[in-house]
Structure 1
């Protein structure tokens, strides 16, 4: 058995309760006696905050002020628990706190009108052997009046009764008890060397009528090495907690910051400055802009620069979740709420985002009945799970995004006016790439660098003709289209370090010989030609699929539910394809 395991097992077998917390007030160790004294079920406290699991103990205050607290009494059920609390130091820094707990008998329960010090001194003799503590007590002249069996064993005294009546200096070599009798000052955590080993001790003066009437000495740890092992174990546990916290932040936190938003145009600079400013507040943010402009990137960056950055960033695409399960996804559900519900229930996105940010992407596609429910959550800051009766308070910042004109939708009755105003507290409009000509080349070289790493390529140059095309093209798919064009080109470049016209898709190559009209150039993005068939089969398949979806939407007057039925695909699949192919309202206007 390893030494640290032996130490922990030893503490776990003590009659007295032991509770240890780290510097974050998380319970890292609690022995069986403490579970019994505090009337707790085993394995229900470790890893949780001490101020929520044992609030009366107030052990977290020891970390805050570094003060030792002795003889603290709290009531648990019908019992009175006395606690001695001390900070744990490592390299002169507080790394945690330890509490030793014992249950007092009827005669030990001391109340305000009585002198606690004298009562404790008088009654301790009846309790010390039962509690197995290493304790010695002396009167005001330094003569031993009580010694526990454990203390006698440590001092290698056969019978503790033999020590009674002798002066403490005669029995305990190098003791500082006479110094405490004289000074009346408490000594906590002192090192005391006896019988060739170092022990950690506490010496507590007993007062009556303002005068020292005796001292109680107690050995907290028989060997300093025990304390070092516990501190080492505590430090290891802290490191593990920090690692898991960082991993959780990596998984649930924001993936991008403002440094990931590429562009030096004046518009982007002003937007980034505005976003950095609003990141400091908790107000709801509405981000608008065409598909592919980087709305989600800004949402991530706002969260990353906010005071909630250590909390989760949870994303929900309102267009990708079928209407009949959207409520359960948002608010979660209780066990047995509906057929197929998980045993034990499930957290919803709103609860998952507690103390963090919930990003509601494509908010314009949220069904009207669900809009009323999310409005209440935003206003009241509370939720109720599906199938549940309990109302849970939440602390969430909401960021919503859409590529639709919500005000027009309000006028058509497709979006709730009250929700619009609740979302429209702080608004940001991300400009399309065609209005950021100065950023297009910077973005292009950013993506080239990205794909060089992913594809192990070495492209570094854009041909002059390619640069000219990039400047002339209106980029209806915005940054997402630019990224796709460059990824495709990087896959077709062989040993060259230059992207040339031949590496671009056909619709862009055709632009080299056609005068561009910004209003119609996006028609070329979906051109078909036999020449292109052998060049990119997948692209032709996707072009055909896009045209079929547009025809279905036109036939159903834009009704996505009817269009999905007509196409014989799930609604969620249709929403994903609409987003993938960047199908806008203008594309489905009947001919």
Structure 2
């Protein structure tokens, strides 16, 4: 590969715009340059002074004491040092001065690249390639002959000279068909041919000469060599079949690569673990398909190696990399991927779990972003966009929704995408703290403020959240007296610690969440109206899972990956019948219930996939699933009709026409049923 730094003309000396024409001409004469780079006052390239500019200056009668800066070409082709040769060639061809200026990483001039440099480089490269091709042909076992468009032999190698018993000098320039009388050169072909009582295989092909005529290339190979290769290949194929049978029945994931890093064998457990198809990966470069396995390191080292814990879809695994040797040569690598809970890795799993349990999560840090709120539901997508816009401001946000819908996730994501993301995110569950402790929990207290108080000042949640965000979960469970004090903080930005008369100023953004109707609580006198309006500046209503049924499947896949990692299971999927049941269930407990059901099912599963018997009995009794061998339109019972409609909509990606066709009813009939069931 041609490198610009190897073929450019180095520039050891440059001039600036104030240099006189006389000095510039002197340098150009000494260096034999037609072009000289000129540096501006900032130390970078200002332009170039060319020989044509010199001629014009002389014809204009300009004094040689004039500064060169008045006679520059400033539109100059500039090339970074690492520019590929193909790009360099295009730049130089299109350059008006026929020369490009080469700069380094600091944009400083270090060389010139001219058309002369380009021609010289091409000639050197051509000669080098010619020598390489001749070396290859002379050291191969193939006899090679090349004839031009006039059928005159222009190239022969040593091997063909030995085959026909003639010196190369006696063959060059002669007609091809006079030396090889029995060979038909009119079309490309492959055939057996006898030369001096020896059997050879001839491969004849054509090429286009520089003049556009058809030339001939003939390659001769000893037939006995081909037969020997075929026998060796058959032996290898038999060994391959034996090894492949063993690998197909292996318990662990097995992957084998050759010296060229190509995948040659793979076991079914590995295909299942990485969710790939055998035909799609065989013969591919392992670094492109499975770079994380790092098998090629053993090709270089020749030593067996054991990886650290790795993970896919929440399933942890380790890779045992074993070199395949032929004598002392490494001819491949065998990768053994252990991901099931075998005795020999159980201790490592326990060690990892202990390590994870020691990583205490900080309550002052928001852990989730928008990427972790996964949805295909149009309304929820729009809600995420609205919440992301709201996050940029300072206004209070009220998040509404049933229990388990993910209100806290939205609060985390809002903080993480706000200007306060580098500050604390403090969570207070108003329903989990006794009412008499809420005030001190919020505002802190002075030493000895009440019986049992510590003998030093204690800071509250507002202190911790100063400059950041305070998330008030279950805000509807806050007492009226504390509501009044919270309102003061929101309005005035200040509060008093319990037992203190000193005002404390804070800058805290409030995000509140509730699963209760605050409007009804206001009407019943259970929630302050002024606080309600203060909190309800930006309101986000998160829909329940039953109203975003299209999200169930993607949530299942995401939660399963996480649970595989947390509880140490190796579940790779869900049986179709079980999946249909999960899709038809109403999910009154929303995403929290879905997670709990999956954790139970993955714990009970014994077959690598969740079966319907792994699901809770209350779900199986409540949901009537359409049998797998029937289409939704065959569901006749009233109790199964709703399930059939949901399945059809899911399979049709909410396309009403397709869903109606699956159900065997008209589109208007489907709309009537959607209205009937409130879908």
Fold shared by both chains (TM-score > 0.5): no
Query: What range describes the TM-score normalised by the shorter chain of this pair?
Result: 0.3 to 0.5
Higher RCO (CA 8 Å, separation ≥ 6 residues): 1
- With the length of structure 2 as denominator, give the TM-score of the two structures: 0.39
What is the TM-score when the length of structure 1 is the normalising length?
0.45
Flag the structure with larger Rg: 2
